[in-house]
Structure formats: structure tokens, C-alpha cells
Amino acid sequence: MSDILAINDVLFELAAASALCDTNEDGECNVADILGANAKIFGVDAFCSRYPSH
């Protein structure tokens, strides 16, 4: 959930990008990162910046 909040803050220019925001490891924080965060939340193998090995 923290990843999605971080992405939202960056997309709406409320905060600077952080490691929590880049769920697909492309060096950017954008709408595509929401897919990675959702995949991880719902049990699909995906990169998660907070728990990269899980």
C-alpha cells in the first residue's frame, strides 16, 4: 500500500520520487508503476521496492 501512496504523491506532484515509487525498476515513477504495485498486493510475482526478494 505504501508503494501506491508514493506513486500517487509523485503523479500529483505532492512529493519527489523515491525507491517506493519505482515498482518496475525502470528508473521512473509513473502510471506503469501502479501495475507493479497492484500485482504485488494481489499475490503476483512482481518487484516491490520495500520487499524486493518476496
Residue range of the domain that includes 15? 2-41
Total domains in the fold of the chain: 1
Per-residue pLDDT tens for 33-42?
888 787 777 7
Instruction: Specify if 11 maps to a domain.
Output: yes
pLDDT band at 45 (very low <50, low <70, confident <90, very high): low
Residue type, 45: D
Per-residue pLDDT tens for 4-30?
787 888 888 888 877 777 877 888 888
Instruction: Specify if 53 maps to a domain.
Output: no
Residue 46 DSSP label: -
- DSSP conformation letters of 6-32: HHHHHHTTSS---TTT-TTSSS--STH
Measured from the Cβ of residue 12, the count of other Cβ atoms closer than 10 Å reads 8
Instruction: Specify if 54 maps to a domain.
Output: no
- Number of residues that this document lists for the chain: 54
Instruction: Specify if 47 maps to a domain.
Output: no
